[in-house]
Structure 1
Amino acid sequence: MNTVPEEFLLAGGTSITALPKVSLHDHLDGGLRPSTIIELGDAIGLDLPADDAVTLGQWFAERSNSGSLVEYLKTFDLTTAVMQTREGLVRVAREFVQDLGADGVVYGEIRWAPEQHLSRGLTLDQAVEAVQEGIEEGIDDVNQNGSGIRVGQLISAMRHTNRAFEIAELAVRHRDRGAVGFDIAGPEAGFPPSNHRRAFDYLAEHYFPATVHAGEADGLESIRSAIIDGRALRLGHGVRLAEDIVIERQDDENTYVSLGPLAQWVKDREIALETSPSSNLQTGAIAAWGDDLLDHPFDLLYQLGFRVTVNTDNRLMSATTLSRELALLADAFDYDLTDLEVFQLNAASSAFLPLEDREELADIITAGFEGS
């Protein structure tokens, strides 16, 4: 059914892979299996840089490690090329869910931009329906394998095009058929959420939640626009919010900081930060602080009480899984099982689910961690 994921362990030997996890920021076109790209690519005559899965996977990881979001996004030309038919979308979505389930994810939100999948004749609605079909097949596969998973679609609009209002209508139209939220994605700098205020107004009028990519390739003004113009309940990445935090002084035991008004607002309102550590390194999102995971402001934000969550962003491009991202953070910042549980409970609390379902999800997380 699915590939067997690499197992990641905490220092004490606990399997991170086996722990129940929540994935909030995971792109459909960034999570394909290299072998699937090759098979689907052959069927349409797509010219690929490698003809074996291992080499192709390495190519994606190497090309994505550019330090630039714009360059990073160019690798998606290949993945979206094999996702232009109903059959391609169904297969990719099904395998995507299978791979989440194999990694211990019990709830996932899959974000993708339907407007990028219309070159072979699909309509927007047909594309969403195809992905939903694949998701449901993947859920059945995971359940039959003895695990359990729940998955929703985050319908994204590309922020550099003019279709956001149309995509917002699409998302609301499918709210009872798999869609759980809205997002804008693509090049961040120069394309603020304010450009799509009409779409966000429409979503608010229909009580439909939004998360917004902000604070990745642009700074505080982008985050501010996401909150004010986009009414964002979560921030996609959001790591550059740390630019609004001033370290006043440090001693051997403590770091003393002051929060700017934007950072204070995000913290006080518990607006979740959808951080993706490996991706943030690849795209240069944390360049202001350094180029190593130890330089990532994740731990600062966590220690200050922000609602941080851990995500993969694009598993193919970062050659990663959610378990691996958690293992990397645990190794870098000496986190233990309690810390990892906090990150999962943060994600459960921030999921675009009804309150009762979020509480049930939190219970699943707690029970899984207690039994580990």
Structure 2
Amino acid sequence: EAKETEVDDAAFENNFLYRTLCQSLLERALKLLSEMQRDELLSLKRAYAAEQRIALQHLCQLETDLVEKVVQQDLQEFEVQLASRLLSESERQITEEHQRQASRVNEDVAKQLEQYRRQVAEEDQATVRDRHKWVMSRIVFLQANGTVNPNDRALLSRLRAELHACDSKIDAFNALMAPARSATPDQGGDVSSRRPPSSGRKRRSSDELAAAEVPGTTHGLPEEPLPLGLAALGLRPNRAAMPFGRESPDFGVKAPPHPMDWAFNSPPPRHSLGTRLKADYLVPKTPYGMQDAPVSQVGDLGPAGSPPRPPMKMSPSTRTRTTRLPPVPLTAR
């Protein structure tokens, strides 16, 4: 029976649409035919009046009254024809505009009616929720003692029925408003969900950026002993600004010799920082001072991690010339 009802409804709807379409087509065709017949009739009447006017003007010059009458009739026919044509065009335009305005009015009325219907439904829902809270509190109050008075059983059953009715209305309202809520996008959602996917390139973390801004950080690398010249001059390397690996400017350049490997008579080389290392760094500190140490101790020292060298054999003239070194201040030039 349900299927038959659905089939009957579909057939009735299709029949109604077909009749509406045929009616609109018939009205348009009849309107065009009526306009054509009117124009044809008016053109015939005007042609007949013009023919009479021309004949009387050629043959009846003495009957001026008849000629004037025919001329006025011809002018009236032309006026009627022109007025009817312009009026028909104006009526057609007015009819089309009226139909457009009527459709716009119907759309506006439907929108405002839907808004008012939703407003009424929301007000009804708010009232139902308030009533639901009151009924729930009343039921809890009646059942607080654990025993229900026989006189209150009828009231309790009525309150439970009303509570069930309120729940049914709330569920029906939620089911009705669910499609509308899902159709409208949520404007207050998480912004990260609408963020476009990032590329494979990763951004630096805040800790790395903070470490790059601090000049004394080593980026997690262990501290290494300072070079001899930097330690003596009281300098500390800025590892945040020092490149490593192939990015270093010293990559591929032969490292300078160790200070203990310098020739004794050669001048000390210049450091990359622009300071000149002094020769007194070669002499170890002793209780007698930097310049008073015996020359033989300098020859006994070797590079770091190497066995001590044998004492150097020098001629008396060389020993006399190199017994004392000139005093040099321990400052950078």
Q: Give the TM-score normalised by structure 2.
A: 0.17
Q: Which has the higher helix share?
A: 2
Look at both structures and tell me which one has the larger radius of gyration over its CA atoms.
2
Q: Give the TM-score normalised by structure 1.
A: 0.16
Higher relative contact order (CA 8 A, sep 6+): 1
Q: Which has the higher strand share?
A: 1
